[in-house]
Structure 1
Amino acid sequence: MSNTKVSILIPFKDTELYLPECLDSVLAQTHNDWEVIAIDDGSSDNSPALMQHYAAKDERIQPYKNRGQGIIPALQMAYTKAAGNFVTRMDSDDIMVPERLEWMLNALHSHGKGHVAVGQVRYFSHRGISNGYERYETWLNSLTAEGKNYDEIYKECVIPSPCWMVHRTDFDISNAFNPNRYPEDYDLTFRFYANGLKVIPCDKVLHHWRDYDTRTSRTHEHYAQNYFLDIKLHYFLKLDYRPKRPLVVWGAGYKGKTIAKRLLEMQINFVWLCDNPLKIGKKIYGKELVHFKTLKNLNHPQSIVTVANEAAQRDIKHFFSKVKQVPMHDYFFFC
């Protein structure tokens, strides 16, 4: 096993339009000690033939067919074939910049085990990028520039699924791709966080992230909002929740109601705050919504904030600052 070999895991399905650009970007890497473990997840187009064509020209590219169905079984299978001391993932419709592997490998060699190398990303699309994706890109890159990705982990996925690299031993400690929990990239990010892998800051765009209408994250039910909320709550209760402290849920929109319903199902007691005078004093799922002034009667509470309005979020952060509560300990923004 080479000390510098990077295993690049690429699940693919029906991406013949984009696969050549993806593989050409891998072949153009300045670091050439790599292997591609490519798993066909049931393609119905010409993708498998394209992959075989590239494999015939370069033995570092190793194509297989998924033994199961879906991206998690494909990633699990890919990892069983991997021989590198370093592991990364790549989406078959995206593009690496030429120095991506070299930069990440150097960062990991410099910082040692117990770290995850990430890169800044740039969205691109034939039709232009929506405001939502543009804001996500700006937010994600601002965190990556300082290595503070975990600071807002409960808001959104803070490590881009196709742009990270870790030591193989750290990947094993984080349980690799074993949990069958979607969205799989967000779940992996939480497991990096749970196992204390520190994020190495990066001020370079290392990955070009393609957006189009049939991209899996846009079309598959596993990437619907409720799946993200389930993962957030799962890891909050596992990692950051302190049962001896009062728990507060802020907001009664879709996310607030979903979180409240899950907590009630698990018989976890909480106070449900709302600023809508039409809802205060009423019950949803049998739980009464109360006014913010109720906070004064709580002793050192923990808060899940599901309020999406940015102006309201600023007001809430100002309130927490005044009462000397700190993020990721006393309060957690879920949106």
Structure 2
Amino acid sequence: MSDLISIVMPVKNAGAYLEEGLDSILNQSETNWELIAVNDHSIDKSEHILQTYANSDQRISYFNNAGDGIIPALQTAYSHASGNMIHRMDADDVMPPHKLKLLKTKLQEVGTGHVVTGKVEYFAESEVSNGYRKYEHWLNQLCEADSHWLSIYKECVIASPAWLIFRDDFEKCGGFDSTIYPEDYDLVFRFYKAGYKVESVDEVVHLWRDHSSRTSRNHPNYQQNAFFSIKLHYFFELDRDFSRPLVVWGAGPKGKIMAKLLKKRNEKFVWACNNPNKKGHDIYDKTMQSIGEIMKLPEPQILITVAQRNAQKEIRKYLTTHGLEEYKDYYFFR
């Protein structure tokens, strides 16, 4: 069906929250959807819940994961999808009542070559962590400005359960075929690589549950090293100018992760920071340079790993006064 939305949903031991999420899909004002859920070897009551809901509504189907993990689960789900529009849902989250209608209306309005998204809101049984609340605020600011691609190397700029895209566009950029984790960030990078424009709905379209057993909190595929690895992978593929010297700015924990990954890739780079106590010292067999020294390099490309926001403002001001442009000469990898 030309306007059918296929919702793919991996399910892993989500029994405590699954019924609330499924009910929120059933309560959508948009009714032309199908849900393909995939049970990823759950050992709780998840499969029983999926079976019950599939028996009660023909729009819901579920399958067991042919492999192991989120990516095979998404691939299994997508192999059964028949809609012209594709959406991902997480089993422990909740859809606001008009989520699908808002995203669908926007996508039909802007047409192919676009991915649509909207604002998100975290909720929890207790208090949402400060880090997640900051991420929520940041994502929503990107939606207000439709400036997602300008921040692609900072964090994942589109929430994994908050996008809708036409099936043809989804398949053109590889869909769920990739095996790279974090899979949601990898997919967003491929949207970016394909040149799709992001259009946002100015409303909250997804309620994101924060809880202690959330996969993104605990699985090694979603730890900081994995995020930096995928950022570097796409930076070197899409934005690296090999005629220019590469500089890493920052010698804190993130700078050290970056340096290790670059050395593992056998990439040449200059390492610098503004801490005078580290200047001239060797870290991982790299001699730390001063900021003044790197500014003497011919047209450097600078990867900034400094996380503190006020420090980032000062760095941006400093580099701008030296005639460097963000997203061309320097990038924040936070």
Give the TM-score range, shorter chain. over 0.9
Question: 2:215 aligned with 1:219, yes or no?
Answer: no
Letter in 1 for 2:204: V
CA distance in structure 1 between the partners assigned to 2:69 and 2:234 by the alignment: 23
The answer to whether the Cα contact below 8 Å between 1:146 and 1:202 also exists between their aligned partners in 2 is: no
Contact 1:26–1:96 (Cα < 8 Å) also in 2: yes
Could you say what secondary structure the match of 2:104 adopts? helix
Match of 1:36 in 2: 35
3-state SS, counterpart of residue 68 of structure 2: coil
Runs of 5+ in structure 1 lacking a partner?
A: none
Shift of 1:268: 1.9
SS state at 1:304 partner? strand
**Helix, strand or coil: the match of 2:229?**
helix
Whole-Å separation in 1 of the counterparts to 2:31 and 2:201: 21
Amino acid at match of 2:282: K
Work out whether residues 89 and 163 of structure 1, in 8 Å CA contact, stay in contact via their aligned partners in 2: yes
Residue in structure 2 matched with residue 281 of structure 1 by the alignment: 280
* Deviation of 1:267 (Å): 2.6
2:333 is matched by which residue type in structure 1? F
2:166 alignment partner AA: H
What secondary structure is seen at the aligned counterpart in 1 of 2:42?
A: coil
Asked if the contact 1:147–1:202 (Cα under 8 Å) also holds between the matched residues in 2, the reply is no
Q: Distance in 1 between matches of 2:280 and 2:228?
A: 25
What residue is the counterpart of 2:203 in the other structure? 204
Show the counterpart of 1:153: 152
Q: Is the 8 A contact 2:102 2:201 kept in 1?
A: no
1:6 aligns with 2:18: no
**Structure 2 CA distance, aligned partners of 1:26 and 1:328?**
39
Q: Which residue of 2 aligns with 1:183?
A: 182
| CA displacement at 1:201 relative to structure 2 | 2.3
Match of 1:61 in 2: 60
Amino acid at match of 1:98: P
Cα offset for 1:104?
0.9
Identity %: 47
Find the residue that maps to 2:72 and give its secondary structure: helix
Paired residues, number: 334
Deviation of 1:212 (Å): 0.4
Q: Where in structure 2 are the equivalents of 1:1-335 lying within 5 Å?
A: 2-335=1-334
Distance 1:56 1:40 in 2: 16
Q: 1 CA distance for matches of 2:146 and 2:276?
A: 40
What are structure 2's unaligned runs of at least 5 residues? none
The letter for the 2-side match of 1:250 is W
Query: Alpha-carbon deviation of 1:262?
Result: 2.1
Tell me the CA shift for residue 150 of structure 1: 1.4
Tell me if the contact between 1:274 and 1:291 (Cα under 8 Å) persists in the aligned partners: yes
Q: CA deviation at 1:277?
A: 1.9
State the alpha-carbon separation in 2 of the partners of residues 140 and 199 from structure 1.
13
Q: 1:7·1:82 contact (CA, 8 Å) conserved in 2? A: yes
